[in-house]
Amino acid sequence: MSLRVGPFWFTCKECYAGIVLLDYEMKCPKCGRQIPVFPKEKTLFTDNAISTMMFYKKDHGSYQPLGFFIENIGYELLSFTYAFFDLLEKEQPEDKKLFLDKYINNIEIDNDERDGYLKKHYRDGIAGVLTIYENPGFKEYLEDKYGPMPKEDNFLLSFLKKVRRWFSNLIS
């Protein structure tokens, strides 16, 4: 089963950079402008990533989904995040943050103009997920925020429905 999510992203009014919602207070990763108004009803990238990672891992054993169509920078960042954590668990490096730096250096972004700020932006996004991975852990983080997960077999699926807004549809 593949799960479709739509990470929220927007465009900077000053420099037109695409920005994924990493926090409800953030600066534009390209021009540095403090972004004044945030859509607080939108789910943070971190929650999109962690929920779907737990789902995929349980469903088929890897964080990477079985099929994934990248249609915007939100999906692009998700895709890099999934690949990073699969690699992390395969390689088991001591210094996970250093491992992330190397991973980011090696990723390819399709044009130089985007590459200039997106690598840093993507690093911030994945680092946020990594921090939770190390402490308190994905399950603990989600339960703390959204309440306990039901115990039944499809617990993640029913739980994911509680994570609001981004749960667009399911494809069997």
Residues that bind Zn ion (CB under 5 A): 12, 14-15, 17, 28, 30-31, 33
Contacts of 140 (CB under 8 A, 6+ apart): none
Minimum CB separation from Zn ion for residue 99, in Å?
A: 29
**Measured between alpha carbons, how far is 108 from 143 in angstroms, rounded to an integer?**
34
Minimum CB separation from Zn ion for residue 34, in Å?
A: 10
Q: Are 160 and 168 in contact (CB under 8 A)?
A: no
Cβ closer to Zn ion: 32 or 148? 32
Minimum CB separation from Zn ion for residue 91, in Å?
A: 35
Q: Are 26 and 12 in contact (CB under 8 A)?
A: no
Minimum CB separation from Zn ion for residue 161, in Å?
A: 34
Cβ closer to Zn ion: 33 or 120? 33
Residue 156: strand, helix, or coil? helix
Cβ closer to Zn ion: 14 or 89? 14
Cβ closer to Zn ion: 15 or 26? 15
Minimum CB separation from Zn ion for residue 14, in Å?
A: 4
**Measured between alpha carbons, how far is 6 from 163 in angstroms, rounded to an integer?**
12
**Measured between alpha carbons, how far is 77 from 20 in angstroms, rounded to an integer?**
8
**Alpha-carbon dihedral angle through residues 129, 57, 101, 144, given to the nearest 10 degrees:** 10
Cβ closer to Zn ion: 30 or 123? 30
